[in-house]
Amino acid sequence: MSAASTPTDALPSNPRSADSIESWWGEYDVVVVGFGVAGGAAAIEAQRAGASTLILERATRGGGATALSEGTVYFGGGTRVQKAAGFDDSLENMLAHVKGAAGPTADPEKVQLYCENSLNHFEFFESCGVEFKDTYYDHKVIFPPTDDCLIYSGNEQAHPFSEEATPIPRGHKPKKEGSAGGYIIEQMIQTFEAEGGTIQNESRVQTLIQDETGRVVGVLALIEGEARAIRANRGVILTTGGFIMNRDMVERFAPDLAKCRFPIGSEGCDGSGIRMGMGVGGNAINMNEGLMTTPFFPPASHIKGLLVSTRGQRFINEDCYHGRVTDAIMKKADGKAYLIVDDALYDEEGMLARYKMAAVEETIEELEASLGIPESHLAHTFEAYNRSAEKGEDPIFNKASKYVTPLNNPPFAALDLAVDESIWAVFTLGGLETKASGEVLSVDGEIVGGLYAAGRASAGLTRSGSHYASGMSIGGSSFFGRMAGKNAAKSA
Amino acid sequence: MSAASTPTDALPSNPRSADSIESWWGEYDVVVVGFGVAGGAAAIEAQRAGASTLILERATRGGGATALSEGTVYFGGGTRVQKAAGFDDSLENMLAHVKGAAGPTADPEKVQLYCENSLNHFEFFESCGVEFKDTYYDHKVIFPPTDDCLIYSGNEQAHPFSEEATPIPRGHKPKKEGSAGGYIIEQMIQTFEAEGGTIQNESRVQTLIQDETGRVVGVLALIEGEARAIRANRGVILTTGGFIMNRDMVERFAPDLAKCRFPIGSEGCDGSGIRMGMGVGGNAINMNEGLMTTPFFPPASHIKGLLVSTRGQRFINEDCYHGRVTDAIMKKADGKAYLIVDDALYDEEGMLARYKMAAVEETIEELEASLGIPESHLAHTFEAYNRSAEKGEDPIFNKASKYVTPLNNPPFAALDLAVDESIWAVFTLGGLETKASGEVLSVDGEIVGGLYAAGRASAGLTRSGSHYASGMSIGGSSFFGRMAGKNAAKSA
């Protein structure tokens, strides 16, 4: 597996030894691999700390998975926008929520740092020219279609999260109609270049270069058709994204994610950075986890419907974040579920995604038979739900009362949300194990010298699809990208 | 991460370079690390193939996790014992079952080879002096308390496995009263020594030694208090077991398994071999998976009870293998479940494990209230179950009819099977990614020269706690240990 054995081999996990490099094409203090939001944030901080910084981007221009996203960033603790919109958030309250939302395997130090520095992180975005409007968008959406800013982007209002902290919206979308991920990256490109940083697009990093002590001292990149060695005197930062576009890796590491047919990612999300890091002793964790989501709302009225398994059982409160609901369909209902709505709730016009209509019937008993659910199971689920719903209660799964109403307006429709029948989008949440500083760790917990990682190439702030909130990827990736940039810049 | 940077460091993932070795304490063709059933099988085959073979065992004598087990081995396709007991198995039928039982992420090549060579593998055990009695033990047990051999040791008779292949028992316990894992190892120790192999007990392998091409050429072991280098001219085989005794690794890689309070393993199951392999570029997969099990039977009568969540819902057919049921409690019922039996089924004397009695009541409605289950949910579960049970049917989860009977003899008792209230045993099923040959692979799919792995140090035959059968660990570990031994012996 050493460099010497495969001098011409471009497999990411085969590092090259510095001894084998005849000439260096370039030399920088810090080299950042990949220009999504993690790479941009890392590079800007490294450059601001006085390190000469190069970003190597594989595509013709920066963007990565960030540019494909809506651009929501998870800020809190009392941002200017939160205050202007009349929400009274605090560090304690944000921490109480994020401790749960980062998932049961989250790194407590990362959670703490992220929350403590959230106002500063908001200012960092503004310092990059990213603007946020002081408005709240009061609808149950995945992101505001307008240039409005603040939304509830996660599980804040849903049980059990609503018990753990006072619900406050923390999803901040930049002042841009529709999706704003590309806008964030464009502002970062301009900022980084204006501050003296160097961007080399169309450069595909093949592997890392190590010195004789094992320290990472550079990268080998394919630029203009040639393999070029670039020295990084203070550190290499891998911000190459996750691995959802690498089918082979998804099947080996994350079999549930492999069942989802709509990967969300750029071409670069092929795990190359994770593999490069592993090749020099970096450990990868959380590799089976990801965000799976089928967008069964909007319309918000459908949240008042009942989500049931093929056995007619409910298994989750339907008002959770779409990712949490989808994760429950996969793990608790074997990837198959129906969303059942009555005629009063059904809103074909308002549907973000199309679902196959599995059955429409005048009574629940007929619907149960049409769906092949054993007798009485769906009927009991409805009878019990409607009985409590008369009082606005859902004692079994604690859906919030504003979404609890009896379903008694026939006909009843069952939409098919099965993973093999409907739109399930997916991306990965596993990657290189890092300290909060961005330093990559070995399986024995030792620091891999000269190597940093952030964004989806690392196991970052948010580790669980059943706890995730929109904005935690861009938020966490950019925050820990900044940490990596600052720390690499001051490394010896 | 290279050897040169940490010459005195004993972290497993820090390999040493051969250049740094001043003198070699010993030299063999094949060095096997760890003497459980995988190591024993590997070493015997290597020695039989003409390679001088050394086993380095950390404890005072071989055994590992195998010696702690009941010693069941999963054989099929028409063994002498199966035939004598009147069961007509075939390769096709065994394959049809094992394809499912190895789990959804199994390696099809390993499944195929394991089944095709099962009769030969039975003969291998006999060639090591392990005896099997030609008898079938016709009870629903975890293993025969007698010296009888054949049992149904997995999910063969349970839905949906019972639809995929004709149910046939394949768990073969050696001719030994009670547990027989230690007996298997003792026979292997005698066989290996009689055939000229060398065993060095009380030797703790610290890390691997690589040559300048990255090939593994030996190990560094702590023997009699000194670090000693041992050369392996043809290959090193890691058979060091899983990582269930390494709390830190379990928490980082397998959070669900970390919730179980009774790790099954020897002191050596600390992941050292997995970490050594990762340190030279080996990839680890399936790291989040394991076998979790709470032994709610015997008594067999309790299988006729109903397993329900804290919401009063059933979620699995109770006649599955105990590991499958336990996996479902964790994943589908959030780690909490009650086993409800009536007075006719309750058998305190026959219980293998003790469970806390959560409630005892004269009616299901009272039991529902005592357990805090929202009104009508448990009552409906019982009403629907009893209605179908009158016909011997379980239309919702397809429990086999011999376990389906109405529960209508008060009082009704609820046993608490929650992970934090009861005995949940656990071991890991993740490890180094290997070819069927035993060769260790990198994350890029490249062979790590000179390195082999088998047993729980690798991701082997059986990959899923929800599909597992007793005997597949010892069966798969020994079979792929043999493959590794044969292949290492003939390596250049």
pLDDT for B142: 78
pLDDT tens across A54-83, in order? 999 999 999 999 999 999 999 999 999 999
The two structure tokens encoding residue B393: 């049917």
Q: Would you state the structure tokens that stand for residue A309, as one six-digit string?
A: 């398994």
Is the model's pLDDT at A233 over the cut of 60?
A: yes
A 332-361 near B (Cβ less than 8 A): 332
Contact B285 A255 (CB under 8 A): no
Distance from CA of B311 to the nearest CA of A (A): 6
* A 305-324 residues with CB < 8 A to B: 311, 313, 315
pLDDT in tens, A2-57: 333 333 447 999 999 999 999 999 999 999 999 999 999 999 999 999 999 999 99
Q: How far apart are the C-alpha atoms of A273 and A286, rounded to whole Å?
A: 15
Write the residue in B13, B214, B449 that is nearest to A443 by C-beta.
B13
- Residue A402 makes CB contacts below 8 A (sequence gap 6+) with none
The residue among B11, B443, B451, B467 with the most chain A CBs within 10 A of its CB, best to mutate, is B443
pLDDT-derived band at B4 (thresholds 50, 70, 90) equals very low
The per-residue pLDDT for B10 is 72
Chain B residue with Cα closest to A7: B213
Q: What would the mean pLDDT of B218-226 be, rounded to a whole number?
A: 96
Task: Dump pLDDT digits (tens) for B362-415.
Answer: 999 999 999 999 999 999 999 999 999 999 999 999 999 999 999 999 999 999
Per-residue pLDDT averaged across B318-335, rounded? Answer: 97
Tokens standing for B160?
């949906």
Closest to B68 (Cα-Cα) out of B268, B253, B246, B254: B268
Asked if A279 and B281 come within 8 Å (Cβ–Cβ), the reply is yes
pLDDT of A4: 34
A window 87-126, beta carbon within 8 A of B: 104-105
| Nearest CB to A444; choose among B105, B275, B288 | B275
pLDDT digits (tens, 9 = 90+) for B441-467: 999 999 999 999 999 999 999 999 999
Q: Encode pLDDT of A119-148 as tens digits.
A: 999 999 999 999 999 999 998 777 889 999
Q: What is the tens place of the pLDDT at every residue in A318-370?
A: 999 999 999 999 999 999 999 999 999 999 999 989 999 999 999 999 999 99
DSSP-assigned letters across all residues of B156-171? TTSTTHHHHS-----E
With CA atoms as reference, the chain A residue closest to B328 would be A332
Residue B306, SS3 per DSSP:
strand
pLDDT digits (tens, 9 = 90+) for B42-90: 999 999 999 999 999 999 999 999 999 999 999 999 999 999 999 999 9
Per-residue confidence at B141, pLDDT binned at 50, 70, 90? Answer: confident
**Which residue matches tokens 């700390």?**
A49
- Residue B139: the pLDDT is 84
CB atoms within 10 A of CB B108: 10
Residue % of chain A over a pLDDT of 70? 98
Chain B, window 226-255: residues with a beta carbon less than 8 angstroms from a chain A beta carbon: 248-249, 251-253, 255
The answer to whether B2 contacts chain A (CB < 8 Å) is yes
**Contact criterion met (CB below 8 Å) for B482 and B452:** no
pTM: 0.95
Q: For A433, which residue in chain B has the nearest alpha carbon?
A: B252
Average pLDDT over residues A294-316: 96
**C-alpha torsion angle, residues A10, A16, A20, A24 (rounded to 10):** 80
Cis-peptide into B144, omega within 30 deg: no
How much is the pLDDT for B1?
33
Of A141 and A305, the structure prediction assigns the larger pLDDT to A305
Question: Measured between beta carbons, which residues in chain B are less than 8 angstroms from residue A374?
Answer: 384, 388, 395-396
Q: Inter-chain contact B384–A376, Cβ cutoff 8 Å?
A: yes
Task: Give residue A163's pLDDT.
Answer: 96
Q: What would the mean pLDDT of B226-233 be, rounded to a whole number?
A: 96
Of B104, B283, B449, which is closest to A255 when you measure between CB atoms? Answer: B104
Least confident among B140-144, B235-239, B330-334, B428-432: B140-144
- pLDDT at res. A377: 97
pLDDT of A1 over the 70 cut: no
- Residue among B272, B444, B451, B458 with most chain A CBs within 10 A, to mutate: B444
Within 8 A of A396 by CB-CB distance, chain B residues are: 311, 374, 377
Position B7 scores a pLDDT of: 37
Cβ neighbours of A294 (radius 10 Å): 25
Can you tell me the distance from the alpha carbon of B295 to that of B417, in angstroms, rounded to the nearest whole number?
9
Interface test with B, best of A1, A5, A253, A375 (most B CBs within 10 A): A1
pLDDT at A3: 36
Nearest C-alpha in B relative to A334: B332
Contact A67, A186 (CB under 8 A): no
Lowest-pLDDT range, A281-285, B47-51, B120-124, B140-144? B140-144
How do residues A375-404 score in pLDDT, each as one tens digit?
999 999 999 999 999 999 999 999 999 999
Gap between the terminal Cα atoms of chain B: 28
Domains of chain B in sequence order: 11-294+428-492 (3.50.50.60), 299-416 (3.90.700.10)
For residue range B260-292, list pLDDT tens digits in order: 999 999 999 999 999 999 999 999 999 999 999
